[in-house]
Structure 1
Amino acid sequence: MGAVTAGTRAVGLDIGGTKTHGVVLADDGSILAQVRKSTRPGADGVVDTAARVFAALGREVGGQGHLTGPVGVGVPGLVDVARGTLRHAVNLDVNGDDLPLRDLLAERLGVPVLLENDVNAATLAARALVDADDVVYLSVGTGLAAGLVLDGRLRRGEHGAAGEIGHLPVDPSGAVCGCGQVGCLETIASGRALAEAWPTPDGPPAADLFAAAAAGDVKAVAVRDRFCWGVANAVRALCLTIDPERIVLGGGVSEVGEPLHEQVVLQLRALGEGSAFLASLGLADRLSMVPLHYPVAAVGAALVAAG
């Protein structure tokens, strides 16, 4: 992936509703250190968690004094990059008025902070992985969202909502989405939807679902196929509206690995069976996945810091 400026170390924090993942990139862009800690919700909890992860990263690389450059921070929700504010980050229990998160973090960490939406940050790392200028990163995590790099530039949109593919309605008789619409893709193809359709007492429901489907469980096959149909529809919608060179699949559910890729490819090919036009676009051939266990959002946040 793209190298960080010689002699510097870039720090990235991916603040999620469950965990905060921090990385330090060496000057060649490789991961020098990484730390994960559980995220404490609320504005104070988010700042405190980020501070603990930052301090732990400093210890990993030989003392916090080594981390003096800017820190890139990726967070869910609507981010105003210019003002450094965050709103509607429901998973972090940050609601209401704009939260000046950039300034709060900079004051606590003692270094400059650059704030970015987490999916947008991950998209920068995905772009570096595939080395292309037109890239969509499709994140299948708790929700469903996409990040867009077009002609080498990150596209955020007028209201910071570019890539909110999860809130595209596809089923008028479907479930009510958290956004207030009905039958959104996120109600079909997201970690939350999958957990509701295939609840498990412990362990990741996605891994359990795909294992049960591979073993021939009829119900599991039906749930898996509907889920992958939803992901494939997100890919189709993105390709028809943006026509990117590459689409990279990531997010927590992607930890299932190659079985997820295989099933989404099958659904994409099935969508093209009745349409020579759609088949000619080669949707499946554009799709790849983030390598297993690769901290794409945290690395992307570090790339935000590196400029």
Structure 2
Amino acid sequence: MSESAFTVADIGGTTLRIARYGTGTDAVTDIRRTPTEGMDRHPGASVPDLQARVVEQLTELAGRAVERHRSSALALAFAGPVTADGRVTAAPTIWGGRGEPLPLRLMLEERLGLPVVVVNDLTAAVWRYVATEGRQPFCLITVSSGIGSKVYRAGEVLLDSEGHGGELGHWTCDRSPQAPRCDCGGRGHLGGIASGRGMRAAARRAALADPAGYARSHLAQGSPDPERLDNRTLVAAIRAGDAFATAVLRGGLVHLASAITSVFTSIGVRRYVLMGGFALAVGARYVELLTEEMQRLGCFGLSAEEIRGMVVLGEPDDDHGLIGAGRLLVARSTARQAVTAR
């Protein structure tokens, strides 16, 4: 007898991932990736146009996957705040400006004809780590196209019904008039400064401000023209210990460290799991540099040694949202069955 399956999807500013989640094996298979039909592929398009493109893409590709997987449900991890009833209220890395709230769960259920769960991508990813982190509270942070976060505590992700909570990427950490713009349109947000996109932009600005320093760096070897610098070159230079690239990264990490120490000071969470393409690509060096900045700032009541163990890297893949979405569906199905059995 074949195991039952769910179709799971994870859509971000760059990539849409769709896979089969086996409820018996707790594993994802048939993983397929495609560029997201958002503003990266269609720069200058209006928010309504991009919303329509993304919904059409999800309907088409998820519909095919549901047929292949013979799924009983679909779970979508979405890169933006999502309400308890599955409405997307913003998608800075996918369609930029806020636009009108999109009832994505209802739209997909009507088009696909099966139950659909839509949650924030970090909310889904949290469920991948619930088992490994045990009962202790933890904060999951992604550093990729943008920055997002979610806190798991006492058996749940801390969110209100409108999806508010865990949006560290939109904390204003630079109030200067010339602060970098975030994808959401605001200025000085953590995500616009310390994300992968933010770090690439910061490296380009640093190159223009110090062309001689840039010319001596590993960055210039990989990209003589700083305007053509990409994150792959930046990551390689940081991993190689390049002073210029490392200084750029530190400039962003001081803000991320400040955000983390604020979370600790306000609610006492002592465990921070990092995921996302940029942070995982830099790897152990990212954790080392971030921890150094946290130690400089200090966490009230903790020693430098205690701070050293607060931040760890997540699993070295991009399946967090897919696996988490599958586990979330299993958890919700189990909860429904328990209620029905009473």
Distance across 1 between alignment mates of 2:34 and 2:181? 29
2:328 is aligned with 1:304: yes
Maintained 8 Å contact 1:12/1:301? yes
- The residue that corresponds to 1:268 in the other structure is 294
Amino acid at match of 1:85: R
- The residue that corresponds to 1:247 in the other structure is 272
Instruction: Summarize the alignment of residues 1-307 of structure 1 with structure 2, pairs less than 5 Å apart.
Output: 7-26=3-22, 27-41=24-38, 42-55=50-63, 57=65, 64=67, 66-82=69-85, 84-93=86-95, 95-157=98-160, 159-173=162-176, 175=179, 177-178=181-182, 183-199=188-204, 204-205=230-231, 207-256=232-281, 257-272=283-298, 277-279=301-303, 282-306=306-330, 307=332
- The residue that corresponds to 2:208 in the other structure is none
Q: Identify the structure with bigger relative contact order (alpha carbons < 8 Å, sequence gap 6+).
A: 1
Amino acid at match of 1:75: F
Distance across 2 between alignment mates of 1:158 and 1:57? 30
Maintained 8 Å contact 2:14/2:145? no
Structure 1 gaps, min length 5: 1-5, 59-63
Amino acid at match of 1:160: G
Closer, same or farther in 2 for the Cα pair 1:133/1:204, shift >3 Å?
farther
How far 1:252 sits from its partner (Å)?
2.2
Distance across 2 between alignment mates of 1:231 and 1:193? 12
Closer, same or farther in 2 for the Cα pair 1:198/1:128, shift >3 Å?
farther
Structure 2 gaps, min length 5: 39-49, 205-225, 333-342
Q: TM-score when scaled to structure 2?
A: 0.75
How far 1:202 sits from its partner (Å)?
6.3
Maintained 8 Å contact 2:272/2:312? yes
How far 1:131 sits from its partner (Å)?
3.0
Count, aligned residues: 293
Distance across 1 between alignment mates of 2:92 and 2:189? 18
Closer, same or farther in 2 for the Cα pair 1:243/1:45, shift >3 Å?
same
Closer, same or farther in 2 for the Cα pair 1:167/1:99, shift >3 Å?
closer
Deviates most, 145-154 or 120-129: 120-129
Larger Rg: 2
How far 1:18 sits from its partner (Å)?
1.8
Distance across 1 between alignment mates of 2:140 and 2:228? 29
Larger proportion of helix: 2
Maintained 8 Å contact 1:138/1:146? yes
Amino acid at match of 2:191: E
Cα deviation 1:263-287 (Å, max 9, x = unaligned): 2222223333xx7734268233122
Closer, same or farther in 2 for the Cα pair 1:222/1:147, shift >3 Å?
same
Distance across 1 between alignment mates of 2:138 and 2:111? 34
Distance across 2 between alignment mates of 1:184 and 1:90? 12
Q: TM-score when scaled to structure 1?
A: 0.83
How far 1:10 sits from its partner (Å)?
2.9
Closer, same or farther in 2 for the Cα pair 1:294/1:192, shift >3 Å?
closer
Aligned-residue Cα RMSD (Å) equals 2.8
Deviates most, 188-197 or 127-136: 127-136
How far 1:249 sits from its partner (Å)?
0.5
Amino acid at match of 1:128: A
SS state at 1:73 partner: strand
